[in-house]
């Protein structure tokens, strides 16, 4: 009996075979599967793409007759190019698309089917960049304003940001926010900061932002801020600016 089952599986694999059985892609991405099948027997048979853990109960999402399940209408395609092959393409991938799928050929009594496992992951974050919200071009002083620095990754899905401060050669969590606000009540000594951007598939750190205190005071203070890629500048800073951002940390 076991030998018979193996023979039937081998026979079916000769009737339909594809270039992928395991697919990993990012949210917003796409994939294409190219298959070949026995055109001497199934040239005019209906082909389909279905989802489910079982070949007997999977839900047909689209077929070569033009039937497509509503949510897949604009992002899924199946093309039966006959002797040139059978192609399935899905675009605009979402995390909920992860799961088990089947490519099938309609056949009396028992369809010819091959399974595909799809895993859709979040987009990894890129190295975050730092820049001040106030332009530093041709400007060396910030009079009566806080210095607010923004951290942002240009790539990534569902990103969380956090600022860390270097304290005695240790990295101490300063706050959870893409914004760092520097003002007299927080800048009491020279120190370094960096930003971390992370999601479920990875994390990246920014370059180090250096703060050098020149004059420490409760009211007005003077310090130099060095942001990689930006010019070093001095700030004469009052305790807090009127445009302090509600999501700033500092």
Q: Mean of the pLDDT values across residues 21-38?
A: 94
Same domain, 184 and 166: yes
More confident of the two residues 159 and 144:
159
Q: Are residues 179 and 199 in the same domain?
A: yes
Of 61 and 133, the structure prediction assigns the larger pLDDT to 61
For strands 99-105 and 86-90, give the pairing: unpaired
Mean pLDDT calculated for residue range 126-151: 70
The residue among 247 and 17 whose pLDDT is bigger is 17
Indicate the residue among 74, 101, 121 that finishes a domain.
121
Q: How confident is the model at residue 145 (pLDDT cuts 50, 70, 90)?
A: low
- Same domain membership, residue 148 and residue 117: no
Identify the residue with better confidence: 6 or 209.
209
Same domain, 62 and 108: yes
Q: Are residues 161 and 222 in the same domain?
A: yes
Is 152 within a domain?
A: yes
Instruction: Please report whether residue 50 resides in a domain.
Output: yes
| 244 found inside a domain | no
- pLDDT at res. 250: 60
User: Is residue 43, in this structure, part of any structural domain at all?
Assistant: yes
Q: What is the pLDDT of residue 9?
A: 42
Q: Report CA 15 to chain centroid distance, whole Å.
A: 37
> Does residue 97 sit in the same domain as residue 154?
no
The verdict on 70 and 167 lying in the same domain is no
**Looking at residues 64-77, what average pLDDT do you find?**
85
Final residue of a domain: which of 97, 121, 145? 121
Report pLDDT digits (tens) over 163-205: 999 988 899 999 999 999 887 777 778 889 999 999 988 899 9
Euclidean distance between CA atoms 40 and 85, whole angstroms: 13
Task: Please give the pLDDT value at position 73.
Answer: 78
Q: Which domain holds residue 75?
A: 13-121
Same domain, 114 and 143: no
User: 114 and 141: one domain?
Assistant: no
Final residue of a structural domain among 121, 145, 163? 121
Q: Helices marked H in 90-166 — which ranges?
A: none
Label residues 88-109 b or e (16+ Cβ within 10 Å = b): bebeebeeebeeebbbbbebee
CATH of residue 44's domain is 2.60.40.10
In a domain, 249, yes or no: no
**188 and 98, same structural domain?**
no
Selection from 131, 134, 158 nearest residue 146 by Cα: 134
Mean pLDDT calculated for residue range 202-227: 82
Q: How far apart are CA 11 and CA 102, in angstroms?
A: 17
Residue 1 has pLDDT above 50, yes or no: no
- Coil vs helix vs strand at 72: helix
Q: Structurally, how many domains does the chain consist of?
A: 2
Query: Residue 244: pLDDT band by 50, 70, 90 thresholds?
Result: very low
Same domain, 20 and 116: yes
117, 50: one domain = yes
- Does residue 35 register a pLDDT over 70? yes
Q: What is the pTM of this model?
A: 0.64
Q: Is 64 a member of any domain?
A: yes
Residue 248 located in a structural domain: no
Model confidence band, residue 19 (pLDDT cutoffs 50, 70, 90): very high
Q: For residues 208-230, give the mean pLDDT.
A: 77
- What pLDDT digit, counting tens, does each position of 221-239 carry? 777 788 887 655 555 554 4
| 243 part of a folded domain | no
- Residue predicted with more confidence, 100 or 219: 100
- Take residue 114 and report the two structure tokens written for it: 């091959």
pLDDT for the residue 221: 73
pLDDT of residue 217: 64
pLDDT mean over 71-85: 89
């Amino acid at each position: 009996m076991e030998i018979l089952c193996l023979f039937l599986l081998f026979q079916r694999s000769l009737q339909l075979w594809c270039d992928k059985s395991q697919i990993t892609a990012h949210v917003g991405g796409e994939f294409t599967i190219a298959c070949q099948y026995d055109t001497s027997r199934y040239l005019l048979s209906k082909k389909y793409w279905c989802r489910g853990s079982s070949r007997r109960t999977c839900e047909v999402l689209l077929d070569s007759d033009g039937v497509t399940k509503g949510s897949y209408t604009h992002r899924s395609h199946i093309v039966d190019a006959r002797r040139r092959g059978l192609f399935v393409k899905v675009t605009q991938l979402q995390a909920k698309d992860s799961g088990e799928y089947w490519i099938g050929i309609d056949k009396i009594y028992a369809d010819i089917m091959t399974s595909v496992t799809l895993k859709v992951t979040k987009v990894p974050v890129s190295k975050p960049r730092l820049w001040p919200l106030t332009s530093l071009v041709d400007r060396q002083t910030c009079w009566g304003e806080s210095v607010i620095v923004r951290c942002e990754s240009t790539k990534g899905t569902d990103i969380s940001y956090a600022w860390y401060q270097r304290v005695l050669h240790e990295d101490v969590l300063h706050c959870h926010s893409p914004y760092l606000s520097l003002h007299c009540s927080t800048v009491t000594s020279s120190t370094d900061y960096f930003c971390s951007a992370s999601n479920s598939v990875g994390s990246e750190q920014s370059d180090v932002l250096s703060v050098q205190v020149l004059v420490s005071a409760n009211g007005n203070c003077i310090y130099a801020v060095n942001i990689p890629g930006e010019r070093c500048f001095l700030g004469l800073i009052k305790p807090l600016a009127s445009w302090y951002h509600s999501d700033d940390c500092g």
